[in-house]
Amino acid sequence: MKWTVKEIEEKLETIHHQDDPLYQQFAADERKGVQKALKRWIHKQEEMNKKHERFMDMTVYEQKYHNQGFKLIAGIDEVGRGPLAGPVVAAAVILPEDFYLPGIDDSKKLSENLRERFFLEIQEKAEAIGIGIIDNDEIDKINIFEAAKKAMLEAIQQLEPKPDFLLIDAVKLHTPYPFDAIIKGDSLSVSIAAASIIAKVTRDRMMKDYEKRYPQYGFARNAGYGTKEHLESIAAHGITPIHRKTFAPVKDYIGS
C-alpha cells in the first residue's frame, strides 16, 4: 500500500517513538513531502520532551513533601502588587499527585490563550481551589505587602479539603500549616505555577470588567499597570474609584 503524504501526516499524530515500525517505513520514503512531515514530527517530539522534562523538574518540591508523608499540598501565589488600580488577587491550589500538564509555568511566561486553557484544565483537575481578593481601598489602608499576605490567607481558608502543607511563592505567612516559602516558586513548583495561573486569569477578567465601566483607562490591556496610555488617561480624566490612592503617581493627581 502506498500512503499519501496527507495520510502519513495524520498517521504520524498517533506515533510517539522513532522505533515504531510505521515510522521506520515512513523514514524510508524519499518523497519531499514525507521527509518534511517527518522533520515536523521530530521537532514536535523534541518540544514535547522538553516540556515533559521541565514539568518533572517543577514537581521536585511536591515529591519531596509527598515523600515526607504530606498528602494535600497547596501551592499559593498572588498577582497584582504593582498595578496602580484594581485588587490584589491570590490563589491556593491543591493538585492531585498524578496531575500532569506539560507546558505549565509561571503565568507571566505564558500567552493569554495558554493561560486561559490551563486555567480551565487546572479547575477541572484540581482537588481544591481557593481565591482571595483584596480591593484597592483595603490596599490603601494596610499597604500592598500586607494586602498580598491577607489575600493569600483568604485563599488558603477557602480550600476544601484543607491542606496539610503549603508551597508559597516567596512570602512567609502566619499560618497553622507547615510551609516552604520558595523564591521564584512560580517557576519552580507546579502547584505554585497553577496558583499563579488561577490568580492571574481571575484578576485579568476582573480588569476586563472594569474596562467596561471605565473604558478610557485601557484596563483590559494594561491590567491597571502604569503604562503610558494609563498615565495619560489619569492626567486627562482623573482617577477612578478602583485606583490605589497611596500609590505614586496616582496620589499626585488627587485633588488636581
Q: Same structural domain for residues 106 and 173?
A: yes
CA–CA dist 11, 225 (Å, integer): 47
Question: Is 169 annotated in some ligand binding site?
Answer: yes
Residue at 242 is within a domain: no
pLDDT at 96: 98
Domain-embedded: residue 98: yes
Q: What is the rounded distance in angstroms from the CA atom of residue 100 to the CA atom of residue 98?
A: 6
Say whether both 200 and 92 belong to one domain: yes
Q: How far apart are CA 90 and CA 196, in angstroms?
A: 8
Task: Identify the domain containing residue 27 by its residue range.
Answer: 5-57
Q: Is 106 annotated as a binding residue?
A: no
Residue 1's pLDDT is what?
A: 66
Quick one: 77 and 16 in the same domain?
Answer: no
Question: Which pTM does this prediction carry?
Answer: 0.92
Cα–Cα distance measured from residue 76 to residue 93, given in angstroms and rounded to the nearest whole number = 7
Strand partners, 21: none
Residue 78 marked in a binding site: yes
Q: Are residues 100 and 202 in the same domain?
A: yes
Whether 214 is in a domain gets the answer no
pLDDT tens sequence for the chain (256 residues): 689 999 889 999 999 888 999 999 899 988 999 999 999 999 999 999 999 999 999 999 999 999 999 999 999 999 999 999 999 999 999 999 999 999 999 999 999 999 999 999 999 999 999 999 999 999 999 999 999 999 999 999 999 999 999 999 999 999 999 999 999 999 999 999 999 999 999 999 999 999 999 999 999 999 999 999 999 999 999 999 999 999 999 998 886 5
Is 72 found in the same domain as 13? no
- In the chain, how many domains are there? 2
CA 4 – CA 26 distance, rounded (Å): 11
